[in-house]
């Protein structure tokens, strides 16, 4: 019954009886149970059709909070949200994932506690913690699996480590998956089939099909960065292979290319700054990276037939150079039926897609029917 309230609309007992087919006494008992665990609250009175106006009840998303964390290769973002995904506190700082799990997770716990306090909430109000990592993750265990840019993280029990610090349930996923989830739930909710492509230090994709995040058998779906592209046949990749898309078109590859041409760049953000400043060589390099990415996406379009491709990550800030290269190859190489209604655009959720998606990862599990039943049963037995 609680799922009916997820749209935020107030409802009367009578409307719930009509919608569920349950008796008035059952509906009343379930409303009382949901109020007892803080998920429902009185929402005033409905219009009267004669006699005393009926009371209404609505979902109370402020009863608990969620910590969403997006860790990249060189940055960390976190946000405190309510159960509806509305941010109530945010923080972003430079942070190197290569520092290893202990210092990074210590920072997450300390920074998370700080933002929670600044929002006037308490750590014991956490419904859960969602965290995205910039590497392959076994979603069932929350453990990174041979992550190329995360030395010392392989096999780390991230849920247990973070639970020990904050005493709240933890869900872990690949960073691009949570970005795809955040983009879909906040900006593209009406788009059932979507690819979210992050182009930054590395390159990866989150796959939304039939409105749901698809991770594949072991959680490795969407790993575009390690698909071979013809132009890079002899270029070594940090994964151990040669010719990977990431080794040709990722941020580190662009930095190396431009430095070899004499440009003063040391990071992907420096490349973006050069493009914005009108540097011809940087613009050409980014456009070629777009073409390389487009060659892989053209195959993805033929395989998955998405309605929308969303480009995020720091290189998406380089303007139309990247997007023009991607569109050029995708529309050139994909069949007309697959591209007839295909839209390719930069992210609408922006830099917050990851933390918002991490929060949704938690709320969608916390508010699912089995979890609600367990929450009520636990409260009744306490």
Q: Is the dihedral of CA 21, 84, 134, 272 positive or negative?
A: positive
Strands 203-209 and 194-199: antiparallel
pLDDT digits (tens, 9 = 90+) for 203-236: 999 999 999 999 998 888 999 999 999 887 789 9
CA distance 287 to 12: 56
pLDDT digits (tens, 9 = 90+) for 279-304: 999 999 999 999 999 999 999 999 99
pLDDT at res. 70: 96
- Cβ neighbors of 345 (< 8 A, separation 6 or more) are 308, 309, 310, 311, 323
Strands 75-82 and 137-138: unpaired
Report H helices in 234-368: 245-249, 251-260, 268-276, 280-304, 320-333, 336-339, 353-366
319 confidence band (pLDDT: 50, 70, 90): confident
Q: Are 204 and 224 in contact (CB under 8 A)?
A: yes
The mean pLDDT value of the chain amounts to 93
* pLDDT exceeds cutoff 60 at 50: no
The b-or-e profile of 356-374 (16+ CB within 10 A means b, else e) is: bbbbbbbbbebbeeeebee
Which segment of 135-139, 180-184, 256-260 scores lowest on mean pLDDT?
135-139
pLDDT digits (tens, 9 = 90+) for 52-72: 678 899 999 999 999 999 998
pLDDT digits (tens, 9 = 90+) for 230-261: 887 789 998 889 999 999 999 999 999 999 99
CA distance 367 to 38: 12
The b-or-e profile of 128-139 (16+ CB within 10 A means b, else e) is: bbbbbbbbbbbb
Question: How many Cβ atoms sit within 10 Å of the Cβ of residue 212?
Answer: 12
CA distance 74 to 76: 7
48 confidence band (pLDDT: 50, 70, 90): low
**125 phi and psi, to 5 degrees?**
-90, 0
Query: CA–CA distance from 168 to each of 63, 160, 174 (Å)?
Result: 15, 10, 20
- Length of the chain in residues, anyone? 382
CA distance 150 to 99: 8
Q: Are 344 and 332 in contact (CB under 8 A)?
A: no
| For residues 341-353, average pLDDT | 93
Q: Are 66 and 81 in contact (CB under 8 A)?
A: yes
Q: Which helix (H) or strand (E) holds 172?
A: strand 170-174
49 confidence band (pLDDT: 50, 70, 90): low
pLDDT at res. 230: 81
Q: Is the dihedral of CA 374, 83, 130, 202 positive or negative?
A: positive
pLDDT at res. 68: 97
pLDDT at res. 46: 67
4 confidence band (pLDDT: 50, 70, 90): very high
Q: Is the dihedral of CA 69, 201, 317, 223 positive or negative?
A: negative
Name the pTM for this structure: 0.91
């Amino acid at each position: 019954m609680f799922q009916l309230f997820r749209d935020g609309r107030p409802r009367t007992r009578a409307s719930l009886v009509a919608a569920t087919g349950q008796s008035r006494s059952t509906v009343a008992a379930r409303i009382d149970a949901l109020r007892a665990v803080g998920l429902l609250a009185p929402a005033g009175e409905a219009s009267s059709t004669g006699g005393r106006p009926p009371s209404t009840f609505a979902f109370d998303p402020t009863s608990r909070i969620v910590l969403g964390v997006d860790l990249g290769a060189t940055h960390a973002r976190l946000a405190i949200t309510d159960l509806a995904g509305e941010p109530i506190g945010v923080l972003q700082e430079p942070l190197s994932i290569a520092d290893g799990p202990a210092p990074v997770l210590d920072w997450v716990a300390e920074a998370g506690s700080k933002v929670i306090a600044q929002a006037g909430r308490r750590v014991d109000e956490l419904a859960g913690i969602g965290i995205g990592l910039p590497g392959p993750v076994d979603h069932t265990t929350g453990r990174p699996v041979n992550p190329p840019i995360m030395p010392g993280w392989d096999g780390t029990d991230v849920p247990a480590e973070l639970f020990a610090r904050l005493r709240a349930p933890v869900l872990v996923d690949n960073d691009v998956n949570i970005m795809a989830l955040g983009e879909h739930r906040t900006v593209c909710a009406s788009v059932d089939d979507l690819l979210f492509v992050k182009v930054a230090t590395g390159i990866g994709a989150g796959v939304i099909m039939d409105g749901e995040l698809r991770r594949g058998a072991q959680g490795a779906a969407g790993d575009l960065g390690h698909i071979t592209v013809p132009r890079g046949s002899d270029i070594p990749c940090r994964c151990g292979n040669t010719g990977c898309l990431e080794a040709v078109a990722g941020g580190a590859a662009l930095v190396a290319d431009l430095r070899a041409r004499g440009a003063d760049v040391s990071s992907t953000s420096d490349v973006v700054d050069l493009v914005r400043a009108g540097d011809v060589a940087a613009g050409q390099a980014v456009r070629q990276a777009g073409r390389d990415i487009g060659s892989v996406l053209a195959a993805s379009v033929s395989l998955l037939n998405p309605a929308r491709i969303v480009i995020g990550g720091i290189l998406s800030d380089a303007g139309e150079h990247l997007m023009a290269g991607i569109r050029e190859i995708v529309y050139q190489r994909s069949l007309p039926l697959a591209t007839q209604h295909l839209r390719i655009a930069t992210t609408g959720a922006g830099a917050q897609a990851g933390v918002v998606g991490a929060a949704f990862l938690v709320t969608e599990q916390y508010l699912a029917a089995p979890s609600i039943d367990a929450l009520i049963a636990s409260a009744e037995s306490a």
